[in-house]
Structure 1
Amino acid sequence: MTSIVTGAAGFIGRALTSALLASGSPVVAIDRLAVEERPGLTVLTADLLDLEPGAFSGADAVYHLAGCAGVRDTDPGIAWRRHRDNVLAGARVLALTPPGVPLLITSSSSVYGGASHGRPSAESDPVRPIGGYATSKAALERLCLDRPDVTIVRPFTVAGEGQRPDMALSIWLRAAQEGRPLRMLGSLDRTRDVTDVRQAARAMIELIGAPGIVNLGTGRGHTLRAMAEAVATVTGACLTFDVVPAPPDEPGDSLADTRRLHSLLGWTPRTDLLDLVRRQQLLTCSPP
């Protein structure tokens, strides 16, 4: 089976591509950024909006991970980039994927607007997107209504080696390595459902072909304090904190209801926070 992965140069895209290749599946990697060539991998450096009709005709499965990431991005023009890369590019992927070819599209847990009263967010909950990023992902999901066979995955906080440098654990690892305070938004008691990127990739491979919306998380919340303590353990740093107000589009807590995920997979991701942070440190920080 030949799998197409869009956004293959991204954080989760790289992990998914590696997992597919390890399983013996040939992969076509599509990204505007360069992707390292490997056996079994065909690289197409292109913008999704520039692809011609028929570009996906040889695919047996399509994983759409490309998009404009960054919940907190406030750079000029970010609203247009989110619409272009999350909504218009998603519409193009839907149009390019032939009927009957399994298609998995990655949305985001941010469409929930955070866990409500500490209750896990379930796929049947109404979406309450806060901010431009979450709104663009909700719009992407609406595009899929005409393709009920599409798998829509809502990943919760995914972390591990290769995580984007603007994500919390990456920022904290660099700060700890440099002896700077860890910048915390809102409170050390806020929680995140942290999913290991390796397990996220495995789950996506097993989920494709299952129609509808599926949360991708662990069902367990880690406080920011616990995540920071893992950074301290791994780096050996004595941590101090700079706690600042959280922006209005920052969810207070996140927690996945994983019942549908478990019913489809027969297992639920589990995150070893210390192992995850150790692996991430290898790529985030230079040796002391």
Structure 2
Amino acid sequence: MSGDARDEDGAAGKDPGGSTGKAPAQTGKVVVTGAAGFIGSHLVESLRRGGAHVVGIDRKASWTEREIQPSATMGSLHAIRGDLAFSDLAECLEDASVVFHLAALPGVRPSWTQFPEYLHCNVLATQRLMDACVRAGVPRVVMASSSSVYGGAEGRMSEDDLPRPLSPYGVTKLAAERLALAFAARRDAALTVSALRFFTVYGPGQRPDMFISRVIGAALQGRPIEVYGDGTQVRDFVHVFDIVRALTLAAGAPGRGSTVLNVGTGSASSVNEVLALTGELTGVRPDVRYGAARIGDVRCTTADVSRAERRLGFTARTPLRAGLATQVEWARRTLTASPHAPTTGGGRIGMTPTDRA
């Protein structure tokens, strides 16, 4: 229902983008689906540090049901393990001021062969959650969508562009987005929806199959890196700290209208730039093996972030080098803690829409 969880020792630490321009703190009861995932774990920590009472839902076996009482520095956490498509959600949504819907099954390649599971996790689960939110009178839902809904568009991608997903994964993310907006448009619904289309999210705790995790892992473990294409293809890499700030800004934004917003940096970096920066930060020059580009590989994804700037006052503030440094530090700690358990997947590194959030 979410991406891979990070351990508690893998907390991100200091925001490399600085402390200015913080999103408003959420207070009261807040619900996070996909709470054990990459983004979800960062969000839960941030919300608790702001004093919120967090109800975290995830279906991972590693997500242990527990109740953590509030302290002088942290809000409480009620952890619930369950599947949104089957669970009774009424009690956990009662009196919630906002629901952050991050639960989803990620990945493009598996979606071609495991489509029923993607329908279950990304579409049916969203339908049941939104129906429960309407019944519970939840005022706002902030959900994670994806730049994968744009498909093969070249250049800067705008929310006004016609979505053209090129994979079953992208289709399910677009369907979930439209489902949420449809529920918000019901006359009997008190809620508004902010659907945030994340571009390529990276940072401490990133899923091990993702591009940057694999590059860093290969460098630290002395393995060669095989890259599809010549490495000049580019992506809009946005740090998870900025993603969390965008989520909380969307939750506290004034106005009652539902909206779709891109969340990225507005600029793009190439695969070769990431490889070079990783080499500088790890002290290991990557052993790159270039191969043929794959059919359907998109040359460029860059977010048009003007709408998020206007609606939320959001601007990504984590430079790529500083953001990569946080992930390299986390990967080093993880490898030191478990030197015989690789933290990254093997195989070739591609830059198809699989690598988008």
Task: Give the structure-1-normalised TM-score.
Answer: 0.92
Q: Are 2:115 and 1:79 equivalent residues in the alignment?
A: yes
Q: How far apart in 2 are the matches of 1:14 and 1:73? A: 24
Contact 2:246 / 2:314 at 8 angstroms: preserved in 1?
A: no
Identity %: 35
Q: Are 2:169 and 1:142 equivalent residues in the alignment?
A: no
Match of 2:283 among 224, 236, 244: 236
Q: Are 2:124 and 1:124 equivalent residues in the alignment?
A: no
Structure 2, unpaired ranges of 5+: 1-27, 71-75, 186-191, 340-357
- Give the structure 2 partner of residue 31 of structure 1: 58
The count of corresponding residues between Structure 1 and Structure 2 is 285
Amino acid of the structure 2 residue aligned with 1:16: L
Match of 1:88 among 116, 124, 132: 124
Matches within 5 A, 1:43-192: 43-52=79-88, 54-55=90-91, 56-73=93-110, 76=113, 78-97=114-133, 98-116=136-154, 118=155, 120-146=156-182, 147-148=184-185, 149-192=192-235
**What's the RMSD between the two structures over aligned residues?**
1.9
Structure 1, unpaired ranges of 5+: none
Structure 1 position 246, deviation (Å): 4.1
C-alpha deviations, 1:187-234, integer Å up to 9, x for none?
Answer: 311111111101110110111265210001010101111111111011
- Give the structure 1 partner of residue 44 of structure 2: 17
Amino acid of the structure 1 residue aligned with 2:226: R
Match of 1:207 among 240, 243, 250: 250
Cα distance change on mapping 1:131 and 1:238 into 2, 3 Å: same
Q: How far apart in 2 are the matches of 1:248 and 1:141? A: 27
Contact 1:111 / 1:135 at 8 angstroms: preserved in 2?
A: yes
SS of residue matched to 2:94: coil
Structure 1 position 91, deviation (Å): 0.6
Contact 2:194 / 2:260 at 8 angstroms: preserved in 1?
A: yes
C-alpha deviations, 1:220-271, integer Å up to 9, x for none?
Answer: 1011111111110111112221223344454321100000100122231133
Q: How far apart in 1 are the matches of 2:293 and 2:38? A: 25
Amino acid of the structure 2 residue aligned with 1:13: G
Task: Give the structure-2-normalised TM-score.
Answer: 0.75
SS of residue matched to 2:90: coil
